[in-house]
């Protein structure tokens, strides 16, 4: 489960414009990778000094600059200066708690998205911020740490399969967004399986842990939802943009990814409804179980209380109690008690309490 | 109940554009049927090789090409090539988990819908994806497997009754969509009957199974709703389109089917409200039943506890207990106990606890 | 309570356009009444053969043709032919499960509405479909059976009071719609009284029947709401129409009836909220009542258990129990028991459990 | 609490346009007051015959005609005739159950509002309908009975303070509406205090009466809300109107009163949320209290049941029971019982049940 | 927790326009501070008499006039007169219960906002109203008392860092609004931590205090939400304004602060959902705990009741009870009782009730 609110105290009250990384520092060293490609060429290089990859704006090939690690203000400022980014954007890139957004500056489009994946080790969903800058022939992506959902894209660029190598930077940007939206489906698949397992457990043997599990699912959905709704807006905005940076032929792909984002939202809403139904089932089955315990126990108690009363009567020490003298009195008393007990059992069974 | 989320892992991360069938493979062999008709002629043929039915675009008669089975990428690609479909659409046709949508490409309109029917054998609602391509004088429909809700349409084309044979491909497309919307009414009728039976059970004899049944109904409604809302959007979009493929006279029919789709939504919402009211009734009647058990049992216990106390008093072994010596002491004690018991019964009855 | 979903199976799958009556057949014979009026003349006639009342379109007087019973396709088709109705409308008139709607065809406006009244005999709310066709100088109304809420309108036409006789067919149509909206107020008045009675019962003596009653009210509101929302849309649409069939002076009357329909919706929503509050009150008062029972009973039990323990102690048969030999031992024991009992009563009262 | 639905049966079915007062008759005699003012003059007169105050339309001074009592159709019709009101409005004025509305007729603007005040005697909120007619230089106000929230306005006109005397009839109308909106704040203040008292009670000592109180508050809010939402619409409509009757300088005042109406709505919604939270608190604290009772009582019972069992053992009459012969047997038994009791107390305390 | 509704009674009924301070008087003396700056100069002065700081409108430098304390009508009226404020605004400034709003008067823009901070002493969230007047080269800010969230802005102006000294009054106004929005994040951070602590408590050891704590959090969120939604509207309005007072380059900063306000709303909504989930968890864990108590206690009782019955049987005084004479009868009885007890324990354990 992600942190509820990341500490912003560091920033709050600082001059708007001072670039300070807000959020957890998730990687030690900044790693910069540059991929250059056009229909015929392909080059991938790790770069130590950011200046080395300039200039790339005027080259005909498409350049994809990927920066893992966003805590080093110097690198980001240098890139900002070269590309001509608005100072506020530098702050936005470094603030990992930013809401997904898109802004069109004419020369470039700035996009903030949330990448989502399941951390098997920590057994929880991780959300990582990805900032994209789409220029005429370049895409710059900023990630919080190494490891992402873009490997298949790298593969496709390398192998030159599909439209990728034939298309411009806008198609690359689309592919990155598509990969991010697809990453949600993996999480939702996992959640769907969890919900199904949980439902079986609910019927078989509900425990307080089950409720805790339902609650965690609910919480995951709240967080997913919080990040997916603005994602949808961003893609919708990108689809409807009239920026010259997006070729017309890419439009249909953006529409496709937009539909996927709506499907993610639909699924999250469906899950939310199902999970809230599960709480009802849980509460009612817990109360059923308890009721059953109470019922059986109370029945036992109730049968014996009248019988004990009878033993009490014949345990009294009155001088004159005719029954006590009868030879078969004891057995008669036992017989009466048996009759009373059996009668009550029959009565309970008739009332369907047993 | 349909699967919560279909496996998309196969696809996720693949180049956008690689046509891989996602979803369960529901039929073995692809079956292609071609129906040709105009006001005078009618021809129905099953086709083995898809190439055999080309060309149909330039013929004056209306062609309805129905493909059962969507896992064979080759066939779909060939059709796509002939009709000039955008590559993304081929992927959409094969992804059976796609959201209902409509897209107007000028030459043709592409529609994805969900057909719904009750599988008597498996005792559950089945949802099947139907993709339609409406061209100037042809309709191509893709289904996941054999068996559909279109038999009456085939009949009407064959017999030449009504407007069908006199109208163009747009009227055929309307008829298919109408049949799909009508298929929802059958399901809702069944659900309505289930709800009524469930309500009678709720009053007569609610069991944990009843709750499970209510929960299943609720879940069915969640899934129906998820598929009907975009259906409504699709029809609304089709009605408002200015495409030259739709003749003006078909508009009123589309408006009619749009109204039906709204009625489906209305009914689903009504059912949802009723089902959620049923959960309340269930919980309260379960708790009533339990309360009644507890009440009667507790009353029995309470009457005997004071009586047992009295027997305890006269069971004490004190040397000097004057009552014990009295000749009628025992009977007096019995009498007092009877009085106490009767008094408590009267008190309970007065308080309406009995 | 109306049926949840009317059987449509008869229709589903038939050629769009085949006129088959769907819904319960509510009257045996079709009864046709024609009222002709202008500022000076008034004529009311029952008509056996529909052809006899043609032609009425070209006459200067206003003609109101009322048809009770909609299962006779022939009559409706003849009217349709004479007036020039679109074939789909004939189907809509005969399908009594249609959603309220309005459609403007230039020459005539077609309206479907739901009339509502309380059936005293069956003790339930009945919903009946009314279809109106408003032409230049005629109104045709189709009802499911005899008996309606239009008697006062007939009276007003007959007596020539008010604007009616001086106005055209649009004012007549307005009057019919107004009468239908007003019929909702009668039902809501009745519901309001039921809610007030139910609330008194809730406080005085809630029983499981009370919950059943609340549930029924809730259900009535769900159904009323389902029929009123589209009614509002229809009237709003009629008010905003630019059809030449509606004179400008009728606009303000339509606005008035529109406001009434909003008031109906407001009242239904208010009732819904109140009813849902009543469920809470019911559950809490039932649980209060049960708690009270349990509390008093448990208190009695708790007082006597320690006392019974004391009698148990002095009922033991140990050879050496000094107290038993004391002359006042018995009375001392009784006194101790009384003290313990009184002390517990005081303790309970102090804790406000009594 | 206002009546749920006022009787409309009187009206329903009458010719639209027959002016019959619907609603409770709240005052005996109709009282008409006329205030005339301009920057220099001021005159206030009670008028017996409505004709006496005509003509006022052509005078340069502003005329405010206030009518207390709306059951006398004659007076209202005379005014209507003089001012040129549409017949429907006369009906609206007399129907005290009308929804707040505004209608612009060019020559005059017709407004229906709901005045609200707390009736100390009956200890409930009263809602009274006020109809306003704003003309070029006059305002006519219709109230159900004497007593209103306009006294301060009369005072301001009389004393000539502020903008009032310098402004036209539109400013007077604004002042009346402002007074009506302000009257809601008084009610909400009172409700706020009630909620705070209720919350203290909830924590200190919740009783079924508390729930009844919460329920009443909830109901009040439902009714207030029903009347305030259309009020907001009316004011918004008035602010945006382009009528020549409203001077531009009055616009900012209308915007101000519009903001107040939104604040009323905000506050009502906040109260609704808080009240619904209070129901949860109530239910949980009632159940806590009950649980506490049950727990303490059950603990007492549980401690004594094993002890009573031990006394039972030594109360048995077996011929050979070695312990009974021991000299210290009795005291040993008492000691064992004490040990068992203390041990159970310790156990309960350890488990935090005490 | 803020007061529910501030007393308005003082005002209600007064002439619109009479400037009376409504709300708690939060500071004794009004303190006026003037800051003058341009790119080269900087001056900060406390001012005793408001007249002394006039005229500032025509000076080229930016003037920021900050007034702490708003109960002195004279000072506010003087400022109003000098700047040319509409009389209504003076009333709005003094009414501390006003809804956040923005109004553009051409020469100046008037803004009301809510500043929020945590009062450590009183341990509650405090809301303070801030009114801003933005003119061509000046900003006037009115606060209820000393102490605000603007210190960092003063620091930045003084030190001349960042854009501040190079920009106009609009950038200053933006900075003030940004500081106010940022102040919400601090509160939300604190709330996030509280929620996390509360959740741990919920699982570890829920008490009625926990519920009270949840309820308080819920209430805080209701109030925050009430103030943040209009804040968002105000900023959105400011961002979209076409006023010449806002330079184009400031637009992107306003967009940034707008996004922050949306993030605040998102976070509040997320918290609301989580808090409402916590109530469910609380109720269910309280009921679980109670159930556990009841279960163990009832089990103890149930085991001993049959055993006590057996002791009762052998405590009866019948003359002929063969078992009593057996030498090992007593031990046999003890053995039987042990067997019964162990058997019941096994049964309970098997049923998973232990």
Q: Mutate which of D13, D91, D216 to disrupt the C interface (most C C-beta within 10 Å)?
A: D13
pLDDT single digits (tens) E4-21: 555 554 444 444 445 666
- Asked if the model's pLDDT at residue C27 lies above 70, the reply is no
D293 touches chain C (CB under 8 A): yes
- The residue-averaged pLDDT of C184-195 equals 90
Note whether D280 contacts E279, CB cutoff 8 Å: yes
DSSP letter (8 states) at residue C215 = H
Q: Mutate which of E1, E8, E13, E228 to disrupt the D interface (most D C-beta within 10 Å)?
A: E13
What confidence score (pLDDT) does residue E336 get? 93
Distance from CA of D164 to the nearest CA of E (A): 9
- Specify the DSSP element, H or E, that contains E66: strand E62-68
Burial (0-12, 13-18, 19+ Cβ within 10 Å), C212: middle
- The residue-averaged pLDDT of C290-305 equals 81
Q: What percent of chain A has pLDDT over 70?
A: 92
CA distance A182 to B8: 9
E317 touches chain A (CB under 8 A): yes
- Report chain A residues whose CB lies below 8 A from the CB of B294: 294, 298
* Nearest Cα residue in chain D from E306: D309
A62-68 and A138-143: which strand pairing?
parallel
User: Strand locations in D7-108, DSSP E?
Assistant: 31-37, 42-47, 62-68, 101-104
- Report chain E residues whose CB lies below 8 A from the CB of A97: 263
Note whether D12 contacts C186, CB cutoff 8 Å: yes
Note whether B324 contacts A321, CB cutoff 8 Å: no
- The residue-averaged pLDDT of A286-300 equals 79
DSSP assignment string, E194-252: HHHHHHHHHHH---HHHHHHHHHHHHHHHHHHHHHHHHHHHHHHHHH---TTS-GGGHH
Distance from CA of E45 to the nearest CA of D (A): 35
Residue in the block written with tokens 């960042």: E162
The minimal CB distance from D299 to the residues E12, E286, E297 is found for: E297
pLDDT single digits (tens) C148-175: 889 889 998 998 877 888 899 999 999 9
The set of residues, in sequence order, having a beta carbon less than 8 Å from that of D209 and lying 6+ positions away, is: none
The minimal CB distance from B317 to the residues C286, C324, C328 is found for: C324
CA distance A227 to E266: 10
Note whether E211 contacts D284, CB cutoff 8 Å: yes
E313 touches chain A (CB under 8 A): yes
Are the beta carbons of D127 and D143 closer than 8 angstroms? no
Taking Cα atoms as reference points, which of B259, B343, B353 lies closest to residue B297? B353
Q: Mutate which of B189, B239, B316 to disrupt the C interface (most C C-beta within 10 Å)?
A: B316
- What is the pLDDT confidence band of residue B11, given thresholds at 50, 70 and 90? very low
Q: Angle D208-240/D169-204 helices, nearest 10 degrees? A: 160
pLDDT single digits (tens) B152-163: 899 989 988 778
E231 touches chain D (CB under 8 A): no
Neighbours, chain C (3 or more CB pairs < 8 A): B, D
ipTM above 0.85, yes or no: no
Taking Cα atoms as reference points, which of A277, A272, A240, A268 lies closest to residue A255? A240
Strand, coil or helix: what is E46?
Answer: strand
E212 touches chain D (CB under 8 A): yes
What confidence score (pLDDT) does residue C1 get? 40
Average pLDDT in chain E: 85
Higher pLDDT, C12 or A110: A110
CA distance E180 to E161: 20
DSSP assignment string, B334-348: HHHHHHHHHHHHHHH
DSSP assignment string, C37-48: E-SS-EEEEEES
Chains B, C: CB pairs < 8 Å: 156
pLDDT single digits (tens) A146-182: 878 898 899 989 988 778 888 999 999 999 999 999 9
- Asked if the model's pLDDT at residue A113 lies above 90, the reply is yes
A38 touches chain E (CB under 8 A): no
The distance in angstroms from the start CA to the end CA of chain A is: 45
pLDDT single digits (tens) B286-322: 777 777 777 877 788 888 989 999 999 999 888 888 8
Taking Cα atoms as reference points, which of B118, B104, B113, B171 lies closest to residue B144? B113
- Report chain B residues whose CB lies below 8 A from the CB of A192: 3-5
What confidence score (pLDDT) does residue A6 get? 55
What confidence score (pLDDT) does residue B350 get? 87
What confidence score (pLDDT) does residue B293 get? 76
CA distance E113 to E261: 12
- Asked if the model's pLDDT at residue A125 lies above 80, the reply is yes
What six digits make up the tokens of C118?
Answer: 């309380």
* Backbone angles phi and psi of D232, in degrees to 5: -60, -45
Q: Which residues pair with D94 in a beta bridge?
A: none
C-alpha dihedral (B53, B55, B59, B63), degrees to nearest 10: 40
pLDDT single digits (tens) B123-133: 788 889 999 99
Q: Note the Cα C16 to chain centre separation in Å.
A: 32
What confidence score (pLDDT) does residue A25 get? 60
What confidence score (pLDDT) does residue B18 get? 55
DSSP assignment string, D282-326: HHHHHHHHHHHHHHHHHHHHHHHHHHHHHHHHHT---S--HHHHS
Least confident range of B108-122, C67-81, C276-290, E128-142: C276-290
pLDDT single digits (tens) A196-240: 888 888 877 788 788 888 888 888 898 888 888 999 999 999 998
- The residue-averaged pLDDT of E64-81 equals 89
Note whether B288 contacts C327, CB cutoff 8 Å: no
Average pLDDT in chain A: 85
- What is the pLDDT confidence band of residue C2, given thresholds at 50, 70 and 90? very low
Higher pLDDT, B178 or B206: B178
Least confident range of C52-61, C68-77, D55-64: C52-61
Portion 100-159 of C in contact with D at CB < 8 A: 149, 151-152, 156
Taking Cα atoms as reference points, which of C315, C248, C160, B351 lies closest to residue E317? C315
Note whether C163 contacts D17, CB cutoff 8 Å: yes
- Specify the DSSP element, H or E, that contains A327: none
Residue in the block written with tokens 């402002």: D178
Which pTM does this prediction carry? 0.82
pLDDT single digits (tens) A324-345: 888 888 999 999 999 999 998 9
Neighbours, chain A (3 or more CB pairs < 8 A): B, E
The set of residues, in sequence order, having a beta carbon less than 8 Å from that of E303 and lying 6+ positions away, is: E341, E344, E345
The minimal CB distance from A300 to the residues E288, E302, E320 is found for: E302
- Report chain C residues whose CB lies below 8 A from the CB of D323: 318
- The residue-averaged pLDDT of A120-144 equals 89
* Nearest Cα residue in chain B from A179: B13
What confidence score (pLDDT) does residue A209 get? 81
pLDDT single digits (tens) D250-284: 988 999 999 999 999 999 999 998 898 888 888 88
Q: Note the Cα A295 to chain centre separation in Å.
A: 41
Distance from CA of C324 to the nearest CA of B (A): 4
* Nearest Cα residue in chain E from D280: E279
pLDDT single digits (tens) E304-342: 889 999 999 999 888 888 888 888 889 999 999 999 999
The set of residues, in sequence order, having a beta carbon less than 8 Å from that of A272 and lying 6+ positions away, is: A218, A221, A225
Distance from CA of B93 to the nearest CA of C (A): 26
**CA distances for D73 relative to A19, D30, D78, D142, angstroms:** 75, 11, 9, 12
pLDDT single digits (tens) C305-336: 899 999 999 998 888 888 888 888 899 999 99
What confidence score (pLDDT) does residue D10 get? 44
Low-confidence ranges of chain D (pLDDT < 70): 1-27, 354
DSSP letter (8 states) at residue D84 = T
The distance in angstroms from the start CA to the end CA of chain B is: 45
Residue in the block written with tokens 């309960």: D348
Distance from CA of E303 to the nearest CA of D (A): 9
What confidence score (pLDDT) does residue B162 get? 76
Q: Mutate which of D313, D333, D337, D345 to disrupt the E interface (most E C-beta within 10 Å)?
A: D313
Note whether B298 contacts A295, CB cutoff 8 Å: no
The minimal CB distance from A315 to the residues E179, E263, E312 is found for: E312
The minimal CB distance from E300 to the residues D273, D302, D308 is found for: D302
The set of residues, in sequence order, having a beta carbon less than 8 Å from that of B205 and lying 6+ positions away, is: none
What confidence score (pLDDT) does residue E11 get? 47
Are the beta carbons of A100 and A234 closer than 8 angstroms? yes
Residue in the block written with tokens 């719609």: C177
């Amino acid at each position: 489960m992600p942190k509820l609110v990341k500490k912003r105290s560091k920033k709050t009250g600082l001059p708007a414009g001072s670039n300070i990384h807000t959020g957890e520092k998730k990687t030690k060293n900044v790693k910069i990778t540059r991929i250059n490609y056009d229909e015929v060429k392909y080059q991938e290089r790790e770069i130590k000094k950011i200046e080395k990859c300039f200039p790339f704006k005027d080259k005909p090939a498409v350049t994809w600059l990927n920066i893992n690690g966003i805590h080093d203000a110097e690198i980001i400022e240098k890139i900002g200066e070269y590309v001509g980014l608005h100072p506020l954007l530098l702050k936005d890139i470094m603030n990992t708690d930013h809401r997904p957004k898109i802004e069109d500056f004419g020369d470039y489009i700035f996009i903030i998205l949330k990448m989502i994946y399941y951390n098997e080790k920590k057994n929880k969903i991780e959300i990582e911020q990805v900032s994209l800058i789409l220029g005429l022939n370049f895409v710059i992506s900023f990630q919080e740490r190494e490891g992402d959902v873009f490997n298949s894209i790298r593969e496709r660029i390398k192998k030159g399969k599909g439209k990728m190598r034939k298309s411009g930077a806008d198609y690359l940007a689309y592919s990155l967004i598509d990969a991010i939206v697809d990453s949600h489906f993996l999480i939702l698949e996992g959640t769907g399986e969890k919900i199904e397992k949980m439902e079986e457990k609910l019927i078989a043997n509900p425990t307080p842990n089950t409720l805790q599990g339902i609650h965690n699912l609910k919480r995951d959905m709240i967080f997913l939802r919080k990040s997916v709704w603005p994602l949808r807006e961003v893609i919708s905005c990108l689809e409807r943009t009239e920026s010259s940076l997006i070729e017309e032929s890419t439009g249909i792909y953006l529409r496709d990814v937009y539909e996927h984002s709506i499907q993610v939202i639909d699924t999250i809403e469906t899950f939310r409804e199902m999970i809230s139904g599960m709480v009802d089932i849980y509460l009612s089955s817990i109360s059923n179980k308890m009721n059953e315990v109470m019922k059986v126990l109370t029945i036992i108690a109730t049968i014996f209380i009248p019988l004990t009363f009878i033993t009490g009567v014949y345990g009294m020490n009155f001088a004159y109690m005719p029954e006590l003298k009868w030879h078969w009195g004891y057995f008669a008393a036992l017989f009466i008690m048996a009759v009373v007990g059996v009668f009550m059992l029959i009565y309970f069974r008739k009332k369907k309490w047993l």
